[in-house]
Every structure is written in structure tokens, then in C-alpha cells.
Chain A
């Protein structure tokens, strides 16, 4: 069993839809959680960073962490074609120098 599980998709939605991306993990020691967006042939871009259970909002993006269920989510409101990319969840035990453990990445396509 992988430490972090993420549905690779692909996921296709119409423009304006609410997108829900999810990851589950098995190691209860993970404390810091990140979501990245990666366009083809580019490095991952940090979207959200959280370290506690609950919700964190930034513009159209909301990150949700449920440590009791070992489940994290990223919601994208009013999705745009420019959101079409691969979304990676990542987590680590130690914020300073700890290895990031990644999900497989979910390929998202937002159709105009």
C-alpha cells in the first residue's frame, strides 16, 4: 500500500464547475500538507500549504485537512480552462528538511 493515494484521473469538467481533488494517506505522523499544480514540462507550483485540520481558503482554492480520517482535499471553484493541469498532493512529517511524499497526481481538464 502506498503511503499516499491519489486518483490519477483523468478528470474532465465543464468551465465553471466546482472541482474536488482528494488524497488519502496512511502515516498519521504527517503534519504538513501541500497541493501543487503542474503544467506540462514545468516545475510544480505551490497552491496551498496547511499544517492543521480544517479548511484554508485562497481565492478560488480551498484546502481541507481531516487528520482523523487521514484525508485531504482541494476544491477549485469556478474552474477555468487555465486550471487544466496535473494536481499533486504532498505531505511531510518535518517541515524543515523532511522528505515530501507525493500522490500520483490527478490530471484535470476544464473544457470551455
Chain B
């Protein structure tokens, strides 16, 4: 149980285009979704926290207009990287707490390459 499905697994896009990453909670309702970015050989860096039906909270230094987060339902949260540039290339991962008594569940990650 407590599965978060993340798509796509990997994506290559041209510089200046936008890319949408989806995370769906399959067997629980995700009131909160966390979005992370991870560089090679480094730990996860929290980008933003999204709550269903409200605006996301972004960590210091994360551009709100570049990384658009939408959490319109209890089972779906999306991250859109707008006007992507090569420096946005990274591994993006979502995570949600499934409920009391359970550890947080992570998606399988999305490898974004901007060329």
C-alpha cells in the first residue's frame, strides 16, 4: 500500500519549452505533497510543499514562476518546469505522507534533461 506513481520517468526537452511532471497517490489521499530536486551524489533538496486546494509553499531560493505546482485533487499533484533551461536538468522526486503510523512514500523520480 501507500504508492505514489510518478510520470514520466525521464524526459528530454528543448530549451525554452515547458515540462509537466505528475504524481498520483494510488491508494491513499495525499493532502500534502512534497517536491524535491536531487543532483548526482547529493541528498534531496526540498523545493516546495503543496497542499490540496491551496497555493504551494516554496523554499527559499526556488523560483515560483519557473516551478509551477498544482495540487487540485487529493490524488494528483503536478510540477511544471516552465521555460526550461539546461541548468534545470536534474532528478525531480515527489513524496507524500500516507497517514498516521506510516513513513513518507516517494515517487520513482523523473530525470529531466534540457538540451
Using a CB–CB distance below 8 Å, which chain A residues touch chain B? 32, 34, 36, 41-46, 48-49, 88, 90, 92, 95-100, 102-105, 107
* Interface size of B in residues (CB-CB distance below 8 Å): 27
Q: What's the minimum C-beta distance from B5 to chain A, rounded to whole angstroms?
A: 11
| A46 near B105: Cβ-Cβ < 8 Å | yes
| A49 near B102: Cβ-Cβ < 8 Å | yes
Chain B residues near A41 (CB-CB < 8 A): 91, 109, 111
List residues 23-41 of chain B with CB under 8 A from any CB of chain A. Answer: 31-32, 34, 41
- Smallest CB gap from A96: residue in B: B97
The A-B contact count (CB < 8 A) is 60
Chain A residues near B6 (CB-CB < 8 A): 43
Q: What's the minimum C-beta distance from A41 to chain B, rounded to whole angstroms?
A: 6
- Cα–Cα, bound, A97→B107 (Å): 16
Q: Tell me if B43 is interfacial: C-beta within 8 Å of chain A.
A: yes
| A42 near B104: Cβ-Cβ < 8 Å | no
Q: Tell me if B44 is interfacial: C-beta within 8 Å of chain A.
A: yes
- Cα–Cα, bound, A103→B104 (Å): 15
- Cα–Cα, bound, A92→B103 (Å): 10
- Smallest CB gap from B10: residue in A: A41
- Cα–Cα, bound, A82→B93 (Å): 23
